[in-house]
Structure 1
């Protein structure tokens, strides 16, 4: 059902003024769309707030409410950027007063800013207590016995459960307070109702910086009464006032209110405005078309999605969303978010009626319901594959902990709950119920609960440390890909051991769900083997730990040369030696593996790749080339997926090319780099996140070979192609600088000294940004670049002298 008055007629002159303001804002933004000086952009936000307030004077119901919400966000943005500006403060205060008149509130002199201040104090206390509680949760060290480890894990589960329960209770109390204030302001409710929470609040996994996702359930039968339109308008204005109070906490980022002007003035290739100044915290779910999990719902239509969705409804009307799917994909399925709810404020009986309806749907044996659950599960298994999510970090300097750590487990526990008709939203409660129903055993219940505890702890710690709902850990840009600290930063949150075990558990859980066709009568158990842990140690780049764990494992258990698990572990050890430049140790382990019967063809292929790599790094170039030629026929007979075969062939071709370059066989090296590039191009991005970076490296080395052959124009083309790929695919600064070195060198050889000087200056400027001051004098690449700059300057001087 669309909101009343859904015709969207607006004043075009106001729209033009808003677009003009958005255009002016661009001069204060950097290349990433972030404010260079928030104090200067404050006046623009203030003016836009005034314009949106004018929009709200129009008759259209949707425009009025949207404009007021946007105006509230913009006025608050101006105040936070210039807290001493009295004009901005007065505008916000006047706006709040005008809003109450427009809404037809009963108490027109209610102070929305004072109410927000009271909520701020509650939030401050909640965050303080959460921080204190988190400090008491210790990381689990490696040097403990198995019994001690289990005891420490159980303690962590209990502590995190307690912390999450406290946050949930505090959060609900705040929202009850705001709801009660809104009801007093608007006057007695014309209908019984329930403010019903969704998302992480319903799962008891909310943080002190989370959005408030919620709906308003109305008393059943009210839609048949004459005053139903007035009832809806009451709760729509109730919701606008509620959102304004939350916005007045000043933790709502501007993009969340989806201001059209910012999109309209953004040209292709430009980054849209992003509010990096506001500390993102407690707010309502955004107005972006893929969000809108709030009572007012999706209020704006687009050509591709010409519908609106309102989440203020009587119980039975809201329950119809559980079976609808066709027009409700706003980036999520409403049926999914409505499956997990909790009572926050209002009539408990109305909420119980809705919960009973949801329970009936969960317990129904309708094929369509089961099919939708399975479809969603399969989509999540693809999109949140734990192995692929970890693998993607090899190509990125930052990671999203919500996507990487939280959703790779909680999504699947939630799915198991729905598939087994468990209506308790808490992941911990679902696991307990699965255990009580004998679907999983005690050990599996412990492991899954531990994984959830770790995922919640990671998210809480990152948010609390940043004092913001910022999911990213890591760096903006890497100087050198080998200095990637994203894994270190990730493990700093809860410790190495917990991160390794988390991913091992999540990986096993997902594999169980992928391998079983019929989940209607699912029973399963998972255990963690040494092989599981070695795999995750490798994925998390804990190479030292792999070797020490292998030494401990070898002492505790006699080697079993026929065990496939041991062959896998030995491969991980060989790989660790190689990464740590212990190539002789790695080669010994690989040659031991070569004599064994390896069943898994992927492992056979990786063993070949690692051996070729070791031979190259030991400067045994001819031997490496002979080995690669010998195993080519073996590779073609391996039972691998196309992607795995392309990956193996690309890496072998790349190693062969490096060997031929070292032997000064430049034309042969070019041919092999081209072969490697073609194979990289065929790879799926999920299987090889660095595919384009690897192609860029091939182009660079082709250019380097051409430089050695004296074909400088062709070398320039390859270097430019490499640089473009690095720019487009987040290549490291060092890799880009190498391209600038090659470009400068080519122009230097052509005696185009001014052009060469430009590239060398660009390279030097980039290197100086990332190399510490005390190391700049001794850095070989910086010394080489400065030498090249001097040569260019000397030649430019003589060219000017003789001109």
Structure 2
């Protein structure tokens, strides 16, 4: 449906016939499919949800815009927390809307399939559980079934229910073909790279099941057997599903399934099963050594976090990988360190402050950091019409492109940040948070404050480095010059700053000034022993 406007009547007829054959041959039911008008109603509901989110974001920007003030203005703190609270409320409401939407689709399926053979519950995972979900996010979920009722008939019912629900989601027109893992197009189990060749650039990537790729597969279908791992089913009793939290199973899985299943939220069905499952998971976590669990789930992430290097560049950013991921993972790491089992990132921050593991100031900065990352991801998806993660840290320039110069569809599919100060504010907290996260992990004192230093850095050097990366070279030079004055007596710091200033001057085209900075840096270099960290500036 996403690929053609021609002969839609024939397409609708075939979709209806597919559903009819599924009900008759797979579910053994002689009944008519749901009217196609219901699929149109669901599309309209998604459209309205996204339009509402866009409208609210614009209202927030008008009513709570801290970026219109000078960064050092005292009013900024008050305005930015109002904006952060508004963003938090928006994402909480989106989470509720998504749950209700999934309930509606599930009820439609059950109206055809009949009542379930036992108690059940759908549990949402990923951003649905953390309350950072967008109206474009994939659906990641599992099904809990009543203890002692997991026979073949019950499993067949819930797998049929999942297939039927998947048909309805596909009919929304936002499932890209590679997510279906069709072997002739994308054979993800093959070691031949030529068998993974198809790229879907037509279908808008929006509300869809998590893909069938082996590293994804976070749906009740689970994962088929691979060369190295046994099959996984996510239709399980609470006791069986909780077994994935056992350290040896988590280690054997290796694709972070246990971590995904650690934080879940109720979607539909019997809430008592969800309570039973979360209780079992929390009991397992209490017996699991903190360092072992962090090593299993976040080894690569912690390694990356321990570097305080600024990764922002003047090129296009992947908003999910380079902006959104770090804050949510950092809060998750902190929750494990402090034994907090609340799935919501907003609730985790509140609990960290309530238990005095972080100060009110820390809670403020974490909330603002999460809200900026979530807002930028949502704004990017809205502007790009789906899960297209391209974001430019530069402000948009309205230009008339010659048709021979560049494909304007590419330019239009990039979200330009409305104000670069958003990224500055993001990095004022993310940079110091990265610096201290490794110490936080290795010093998990149950009663002490997590952060020994402030997670807010607006030093001249930090401002200069960020300004450089978003190509504000005049501002970068001013900030770095100020930092150089502040570094009086610290020769290694001066050396670092002089080379930074040389790079900025070179970028501005002032080659004489750049040479002057480099010569001053070399003079200092001859008098001190340069450490490993500094050598990257000298190469």
Whether the 8 Å contact between 2:391 and 2:417 is mirrored in structure 1 is: no
Equivalent residue of 1:424, what SS?
coil
Task: Give the 3 Å change call, closer, same or farther, for CA 456–96 of structure 1 in structure 2.
Answer: same
Whether the 8 Å contact between 2:175 and 2:203 is mirrored in structure 1 is: yes
Equivalent residue of 2:60, what SS?
coil
Deviation at 1:587, TM superposition (A): 4.7
Equivalent residue of 2:12, what SS?
helix
| 1:507 aligned partner | 431
Q: Quick check: 238-247 or 140-149, which moved more?
A: 140-149
Of 293, 303, 323, the match for 1:405: 323
Give the distance between the partners of 1:86 and 1:329, measured in 2 at CA.
49
Deviation at 1:506, TM superposition (A): 1.6
Q: Does 1:639 align with 2:531?
A: yes
The structure where helix makes up a greater share of residues is: 1
Structure having the higher Rg: 1
Q: Does 1:218 align with 2:141?
A: no
Equivalent residue of 2:267, what SS?
strand
Q: Does 1:536 align with 2:479?
A: no
Give the distance between the partners of 2:362 and 2:236, measured in 1 at CA.
40
| 1:313 aligned partner | 236
Aligned ranges for residues 270-669 of structure 1 at < 5 Å? Answer: 272-298=197-223, 300-305=224-229, 307-323=230-246, 325-326=248-249, 332-362=255-285, 364-367=286-289, 370-383=291-304, 390=311, 393=313, 398-473=316-391, 492-516=416-440, 518-521=442-445, 523-524=450-451, 525=453, 526-530=455-459, 531-549=461-479, 561-562=488-489, 567=494, 572-589=500-517, 604=525, 638-640=530-532, 645=535, 647=536, 651=539
Give the distance between the partners of 2:183 and 2:35, measured in 1 at CA.
26
Deviation at 1:473, TM superposition (A): 3.2
Deviation at 1:205, TM superposition (A): 0.3
Whether the 8 Å contact between 2:337 and 2:441 is mirrored in structure 1 is: no
| 2:104 aligned partner | 177
Whether the 8 Å contact between 2:121 and 2:267 is mirrored in structure 1 is: yes
Equivalent residue of 2:532, what SS?
coil
Deviation at 1:527, TM superposition (A): 3.0
Task: Give the 3 Å change call, closer, same or farther, for CA 453–570 of structure 1 in structure 2.
Answer: farther
Whether the 8 Å contact between 2:243 and 2:249 is mirrored in structure 1 is: no
Task: Give the 3 Å change call, closer, same or farther, for CA 547–107 of structure 1 in structure 2.
Answer: farther
Give the distance between the partners of 2:324 and 2:112, measured in 1 at CA.
38
Q: Does 1:232 align with 2:155?
A: yes
| 1:720 aligned partner | none
| 1:207 aligned partner | 134
Deviation at 1:193, TM superposition (A): 0.8
Q: What are structure 2's unaligned runs of at least 5 residues?
A: 394-409
Give the distance between the partners of 1:563 and 1:539, measured in 2 at CA.
24
Give the distance between the partners of 1:207 and 1:431, measured in 2 at CA.
20
Task: Give the 3 Å change call, closer, same or farther, for CA 268–241 of structure 1 in structure 2.
Answer: closer
Whether the 8 Å contact between 1:215 and 1:294 is mirrored in structure 2 is: yes
Of 95, 101, 117, the match for 2:18: 95
Give the distance between the partners of 1:85 and 1:309, measured in 2 at CA.
38
Deviation at 1:168, TM superposition (A): 0.9
Task: Give the 3 Å change call, closer, same or farther, for CA 231–417 of structure 1 in structure 2.
Answer: same
Equivalent residue of 1:177, what SS?
helix
Deviations 1:569-599 (A, max 9, x none): 5654443223212234445555666676xxx
Task: Give the 3 Å change call, closer, same or farther, for CA 210–389 of structure 1 in structure 2.
Answer: farther
Aligned ranges for residues 55-134 of structure 1 at < 5 Å? Answer: 76=1, 80-104=3-27, 108-111=31-34, 113-134=36-57
Whether the 8 Å contact between 2:250 and 2:296 is mirrored in structure 1 is: no
Task: Give the 3 Å change call, closer, same or farther, for CA 580–81 of structure 1 in structure 2.
Answer: same
Deviation at 1:445, TM superposition (A): 1.5
Deviations 1:608-661 (A, max 9, x none): xxxxxxxxxxxxxxxxxxxxxxx6xx89x63326xx75x567x4xxxxxxxxxx
Equivalent residue of 1:344, what SS?
strand
Of 121, 126, 134, the match for 1:194: 121
Whether the 8 Å contact between 1:410 and 1:452 is mirrored in structure 2 is: yes
Give the distance between the partners of 1:565 and 1:171, measured in 2 at CA.
53
Whether the 8 Å contact between 1:402 and 1:471 is mirrored in structure 2 is: yes
Task: Give the 3 Å change call, closer, same or farther, for CA 293–266 of structure 1 in structure 2.
Answer: closer
Whether the 8 Å contact between 1:168 and 1:206 is mirrored in structure 2 is: yes
Equivalent residue of 2:364, what SS?
helix
Deviation at 1:452, TM superposition (A): 0.6
Deviation at 1:268, TM superposition (A): 5.8
Q: Does 1:247 align with 2:170?
A: yes
Whether the 8 Å contact between 2:502 and 2:518 is mirrored in structure 1 is: yes
Q: After TM superposition, what 4+ stretches of structure 1 lie above 6 angstroms from structure 2?
A: 264-267, 327-331
Task: Give the 3 Å change call, closer, same or farther, for CA 142–325 of structure 1 in structure 2.
Answer: farther
Q: Does 1:151 align with 2:78?
A: yes
Whether the 8 Å contact between 1:157 and 1:449 is mirrored in structure 2 is: yes
The answer to which structure, 1 or 2, has the higher relative contact order (CA under 8 A, 6+ apart) is 2
Whether the 8 Å contact between 2:244 and 2:257 is mirrored in structure 1 is: yes
Whether the 8 Å contact between 2:174 and 2:203 is mirrored in structure 1 is: yes
Deviations 1:699-747 (A, max 9, x none): xxxxxxxxxxxxxxxxxxxxxxxxxxxxxxxxxxxxxxxxxxxxxxxxx
Deviations 1:368-418 (A, max 9, x none): x64022343331123567766826x57xx5431100001121111111112
Task: Give the 3 Å change call, closer, same or farther, for CA 516–176 of structure 1 in structure 2.
Answer: closer
- TM-score (norm. length: structure 1): 0.58
Equivalent residue of 1:287, what SS?
coil
Whether the 8 Å contact between 1:197 and 1:215 is mirrored in structure 2 is: yes
Aligned ranges for residues 640-789 of structure 1 at < 5 Å? Answer: 640=532, 645=535, 647=536, 651=539
Give the distance between the partners of 2:217 and 2:518, measured in 1 at CA.
55
Give the distance between the partners of 2:518 and 2:332, measured in 1 at CA.
42
Task: Give the 3 Å change call, closer, same or farther, for CA 243–328 of structure 1 in structure 2.
Answer: farther
Deviations 1:219-269 (A, max 9, x none): 22324xxxx211111111011001110111010001100000124699866
Task: Give the 3 Å change call, closer, same or farther, for CA 267–571 of structure 1 in structure 2.
Answer: closer
Whether the 8 Å contact between 1:107 and 1:185 is mirrored in structure 2 is: no
Deviation at 1:173, TM superposition (A): 0.9
